[in-house]
Amino acid sequence: PTAEDRAPAQVRERHAELSAELDDHSYRYYMGKPVISDAEYDTLMRELEGIEERHPSLVTRDSPTQKVGAPISVDFAPIEHLERMQSLDNAFSAEEFEAWVQRVESEAPIDAYLCELKIDGLAVDLVYENGRLVRAATRGDGRVGEDITLNLRTIEDIPVDLDQSARAAPELLEVRGEVFLPGEAFEELNARLADEGKTPFANPRNGAAGSLRQKDPRITATRPLSMLVHGVGAHTGVEFTHQSHVYGLLREWGLPVSDRYRVLTTRQEVADYIDYYTEHRHEPPYEIDGVVIKVDDVSLQRRLGSTSRAPRWAIAYKYPPEEVTTRLADIRVNV
């Protein structure tokens, strides 16, 4: 029998159905118009992962479990990223998080974790050549994104020219981060849209996606978008030893780095960081959907490597959804 024969027809049908559904939701989500909540999406994804764990023959390269994002729309020119943009693996409980820690610590001598907030925004990629912003793109499917250079240039947080007063910028630097609408800015924008008789956005994330993916950058310029950076892709003319070293240099060059990240050395400290933001989830002036824990040492990051979808050296600890029903109702009336 072929590998496919091992999964019963009923299971294969459910697998195909879930895959199609997830692809469809993914596309809508990246267009800024989801029709289900993130928690519902995550539940469907977990079901698919469960099926694939029991029937590995069903894992194909284009399964939603193996892919990043969604194909890009035809509204923007395609841009191939210099280095692939990935997603993150998730932990939904303390047990899942502990299992991840044990796995990485069994493979590499980890001495510090960098803990930071998982901003619920839009992943973007900025390319700087000799200190000048030359291109900006959405994540797209991780390999090819949408050219949003003109739109990105309207965001005040993002320097067009890096600050080179303390240190020269490298020849090439690909910077990754999150574009978002801070809470207050979101409320103001929605009030303005309502005044103008336009449909308000269901939540800050959709507002950020809708504002960034405008065909006319003059509209994006009127939207109070912010950005925080949290990583690098391709680079030449600079070497990084630690994730925290990356952030130090990005900050020196004038890029917006969060001041809420911490480099922590014990599991207890990491657990305390996760707990703190579980309790103080609304303290940051933007929406977060969890925290991200990264191995700080870049050589250990390399040793741990990545899957087709996500690095093995980082994990998103996702917080449980709040008021799912209210948010769902919001989403349904607003799309």
Beta strands 226-236 and 172-180 are antiparallel
Q: Which of residues 292-311 bind ligand NAD (CB under 6 A)?
A: 292
Task: Name the helix (H) or strand (E) containing 113.
Answer: strand 113-119
Identify which of residues 7 and 88 has a Cβ nearer to ligand NAD in the complex.
88
User: 């990754």: which residue's tokens?
Assistant: 176
Q: Which of 104, 108, 119, 304 binds ligand NAD (CB under 6 A)?
A: 119
Q: Which stretch binds ligand NAD (CB under 6 A): 24-32, 102-110, 150-158, 322-330?
A: 24-32
Query: Strand, coil or helix: what is 98?
Result: helix
d(CA 68, CA 150): 24
Q: Which of 79, 123, 158, 315 binds ligand NAD (CB under 6 A)?
A: 123
Q: Which stretch binds ligand NAD (CB under 6 A): 50-58, 99-107, 115-123, 185-193?
A: 115-123
Distance in Å, CB of 246 to ligand NAD, minimum: 11
Closest-CA residue to 318 (of 142, 120, 184): 120
234 labeled binding residue: no
Beta strands 90-91 and 314-318 are parallel
Per the structure block, which two tokens stand in for 145?
Answer: 């994104």
Q: Which of 135, 213, 223, 230 binds ligand NAD (CB under 6 A)?
A: 230
Helices (H), the chain: 9-30, 38-54, 94-107, 149-152, 183-195, 204-212, 217-221, 243-252, 267-279, 298-304, 324-334
Nearest residue to ligand NAD by CB is: 123
Per the structure block, which two tokens stand in for 259?
Answer: 């001041």
Q: Which of 48, 88, 112, 179 binds ligand NAD (CB under 6 A)?
A: 88
On whether the CB atoms of residues 146 and 214 are closer than 8 A, the answer is no
- Catalytic status, residue 33: no
Q: Which of residues 176-195 bind ligand NAD (CB under 6 A)?
A: 178
On whether the CB atoms of residues 178 and 227 are closer than 8 A, the answer is yes
Site map 37..66 versus ligand NAD, x via CB under 6 A: xx--xx------------------------
Q: Which of 81, 118, 223, 235 binds ligand NAD (CB under 6 A)?
A: 118
Q: Which of 7, 15, 18, 25 binds ligand NAD (CB under 6 A)?
A: 25
On whether the CB atoms of residues 117 and 277 are closer than 8 A, the answer is yes
294 labeled binding residue: yes
On whether the CB atoms of residues 258 and 228 are closer than 8 A, the answer is yes
Closest-CA residue to 263 (of 297, 312, 304, 303): 297
Distance in Å, CB of 9 to ligand NAD, minimum: 28
d(CA 101, CA 260): 22
Identify which of residues 7 and 86 has a Cβ nearer to ligand NAD in the complex.
86
Q: Which stretch binds ligand NAD (CB under 6 A): 36-44, 146-154, 167-175, 295-303?
A: 36-44
Q: Which of 116, 141, 287, 296 binds ligand NAD (CB under 6 A)?
A: 116
303-to-63, 266, 275 alpha-carbon distances in Å: 26, 21, 29
d(CA 233, CA 83): 6
Q: Which of 33, 67, 118, 215 is catalytic?
A: 118
Q: Which residues are catalytic?
A: 118
Site residues for ligand NAD per CB under 6 A? 25-26, 28-29, 34, 36-38, 41-42, 68, 87-88, 90, 116, 118-119, 123, 139, 178, 230-231, 292, 316
Binding site feature residues: 38-42, 87-88, 116, 139, 178, 294, 318
Binding site feature residues for NAD(+): 38-42, 87-88, 116, 139, 178, 294, 318
